[in-house]
Chain A
Amino acid sequence: MKIIVLGGFLGSGKTTALLSLARFLVNRCEKRENAVMILENEIGEVGVDDKTVAAAGLNVTNLFAGCVCCTASGELTVAAQRILREYDPEWLIIETTGIAYPREIRANLGSALGLEPRILVIADAVRWKRLYRAMNVLLAGQLESADAVLLNKCDAASPDAVAGAEAQIGTLNGAIPLFRVSAADGIADEVWETATGCGL
């Protein structure tokens, strides 16, 4: 089982990107049920994103455990172990809450399952500047462990905003690929091939 952790701030477009990613992975997998599974971690007490994912015909498990980047929480690893045991998927996509630090999820899964998830972070080109001013610690922390960044909503942001966000993300983690995308319009397979490492 390969794991992708999909992180990024609230409202950045993680769920929309997830649907595109899942379709990409499903098309690459052998044709069997549950080849791609989704684990949703929602911060509130109700499920919203899981409805979106389930409506697209994907198999989704929801974790209402608060933020599962918490090192004190075993619920993420229990859920991931159960999914591996019961479904043996090729891919497990974990969509984090918008205030999670993906590096901690990687650490949890690494120590519990011996698996090294790939971390993809979705950044919001429209709100980047405003949010970074207010929450730079969180946004920087989310990016520092990313293997790739998708700078989303580039269709709705001004060219200056996109360039500014890209430059700042580059200073925070310049070693990784960054893709300008508009998830609502679809994300090209070539982006996912590089971002997921499938194309390597």
Chain B
Amino acid sequence: MSHNHEHAHDEHTHTHGHEEHEHTDGEVEVTTHDGAVIASVGFVSRQPEERLSALMTEELSRFGRQIGALGGIIGHVKAAVTSRRVTTFSLTEPDTEPGVAALGCESTVQLAAIVFGVAEDALKTIAERAVSALR
């Protein structure tokens, strides 16, 4: 099922719209819910796995410092990295060893930041900087 909708109700209010597929376009979407400001983004990175892991640690730390510097409260900043590494094997002659070639790594990153006390455009800017550094 996929849909886009907005709704509000008596106990608390929020607005959002989404489609049910994995986002990888690198566009940071910012929504709100009950005082929380939420940035979500999915993108593809071609950084080598180990480098991406180190960069992710740096960028999440930076994310936190920036939120703190704005006087905001971190609810949760989290990311999932799914990596795909392709290795090819090739044999063209009998009695020989297959050639092996590692063709690199492509990672899909899903990042979500849920914070409080930070303006939507400020959170979006912080998230966009992180994406730029990680891609």
Q: Which residues in A have some Cβ–Cβ distance to B below 8 Å?
A: 9-11, 42-49, 51-52, 64, 66-67, 70-73, 98-99, 101, 104, 131, 134-135, 138
User: Contacts A67-B14, A67-B33, A99-B34 known; A43 to B78 CB distance under 8 Å?
Assistant: no
Q: A67-B14, A73-B7 are in contact. Are A46 and B114 (CB under 8 A)?
A: no
The distance in angstroms between the C-alpha atoms of A44 and B7, with both chains bound, is 15
Whole-angstrom CA separation of A73 from B79 in the bound complex: 26
Judge whether B7 and A70 touch: CB under 8 Å: yes
**Residue in A10, A73, A104 whose CB lies within 8 Å of B114:** A10
Interchain CB contact under 8 A, A72 and B7: yes
A contact residues around B78 at 8 Å (CB): 11, 48-49
Within the complex, the shortest CB–CB distance from A140 to chain B, in Å, comes to 15
User: Is B29 in the interface zone, CB < 8 Å from A?
Assistant: yes
Residues of the A chain whose Cβ atoms lie less than 8 Å from the Cβ of B112: 42-46, 48
Interface centre among A9, A45, A64, A131 (most CB of B within 10 A): A45
In the assembled complex, the Cα of A135 lies from the Cα of B111 at a distance in Å of: 24
Closest to A64 in B: B18
Q: Are B22 and A46 in contact (CB under 8 A)?
A: yes
- A44/B114 in contact, CB under 8 A: yes
- Pick out which of these stretches binds chain A: B37-45, B47-55, B88-96, B97-105: B37-45
